[in-house]
């Protein structure tokens, strides 16, 4: 698309404002070199957002990058002939840019252009999977090469999946510890004491025997039985938690 003088002048004003904002945040805008001044300014704003989480930096970045992202989204959607709203693709891309600044590396003037292109392509892929459309996205060779420099980082989608997996694991682990504690409290005092020395303090059976005055063989049996009781109690508590409920909320016994 050929820019009119008015549009080009407005773009220059936006870039100059972006550069001033970066300088105010103590972030140097990399020299554009062979790339565009807009790309370099976007890279500087993204770095300011990564370092300071400054809303003004992100708002300026969104305004400056939106036209380029919109044109890129329209070209991708048109090339694939799919029914995806380019505006929704741009919005989702900016949301990912907002959420994952720690994945960004400002190692060259066009770093943001390459990184945001990767995010945009991933957003389109997600829309295609959601719509059960399996047609792959074909990238131009120069775009693939541009993205290779950013491939060392984990992509935004993978980062989100990893974060969700960590949250699920933390929830399950917290539940297990709570159930273990309940089962632990139901052990006898001697069982808790001996099991604590072995499992919490990492003592050998010979060392525990010296402390308690019992034979190591007897202590091994105490620990074995205590572990078995805890295992069975946790299983029982999980079965109760997963049992179907009646109208009053109580568990319904199995037939």
Domain ranges within the chain, ordered by starting residue: 5-153, 159-242
CA-nearest of 102, 154, 158, 171 to 126 is 158
State the Cα–Cα distance between residues 1 and 18, nearest whole angstrom.
23
pLDDT given at position 145: 43
pLDDT given at position 107: 85
Bridge partners (DSSP) listed for residue 251 = 245
pLDDT given at position 255: 46
CA dihedral 59, 60, 66, 67 (to 10 degrees): 150
The model's pTM: 0.47
The pLDDT tens digits of the residues spanning 12-53 come to 667 777 778 887 777 777 664 444 788 888 888 899 888 988
State the Cα–Cα distance between residues 45 and 58, nearest whole angstrom.
7
Residue 55 class from Cβ within 10 Å (0-12 exposed, 13-18 middle, 19+ buried)?
exposed
CATH code for residues 159-242? 1.10.10.10
Residue 101 near residue 50 (C-beta atoms within 8 A): yes
Residue 39 near residue 32 (C-beta atoms within 8 A): yes
- Ranges of residues in the chain with a pLDDT under 50 are 1-10, 32-35, 133-134, 139-152, 255
Residue 28 near residue 44 (C-beta atoms within 8 A): yes
């Amino acid at each position: 698309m050929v820019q009119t003088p008015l549009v080009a002048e407005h773009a220059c004003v936006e870039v100059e404002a972006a550069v001033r904002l970066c300088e105010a945040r103590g972030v140097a805008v990399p020299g554009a070199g062979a790339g565009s001044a807009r790309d370099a300014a976007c890279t500087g704003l993204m770095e300011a957002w990564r370092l300071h989480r400054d809303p003004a930096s992100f708002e300026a970045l969104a305004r400056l990058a939106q036209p380029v992202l919109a044109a890129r989204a329209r070209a991708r959607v048109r090339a694939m002939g799919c029914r995806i709203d380019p505006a929704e693709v741009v919005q989702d891309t900016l949301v990912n840019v907002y959420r994952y600044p720690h994945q960004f590396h400002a190692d060259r003037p066009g770093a943001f252009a390459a990184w945001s292109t990767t995010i945009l392509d991933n957003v389109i892929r997600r829309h295609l999977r959601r719509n059960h459309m399996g047609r792959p996205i074909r990238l131009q060779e120069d775009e693939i090469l541009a993205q290779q420099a950013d491939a060392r980082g984990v992509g935004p989608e993978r980062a989100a999946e990893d974060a969700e997996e960590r949250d699920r694991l933390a929830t399950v682990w917290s539940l297990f510890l709570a159930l273990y504690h309940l089962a632990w409290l139901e052990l006898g005092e001697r069982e808790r004491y001996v099991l604590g020395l072995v499992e919490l303090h990492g003592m050998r059976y010979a060392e525990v025997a010296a402390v308690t005055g019992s034979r190591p063989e007897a202590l091994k049996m105490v620990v074995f039985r205590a572990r078995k009781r805890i295992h069975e109690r946790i299983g029982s508590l999980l079965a109760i938690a997963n049992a179907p409920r009646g109208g009053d909320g109580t568990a319904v016994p199995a037939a």
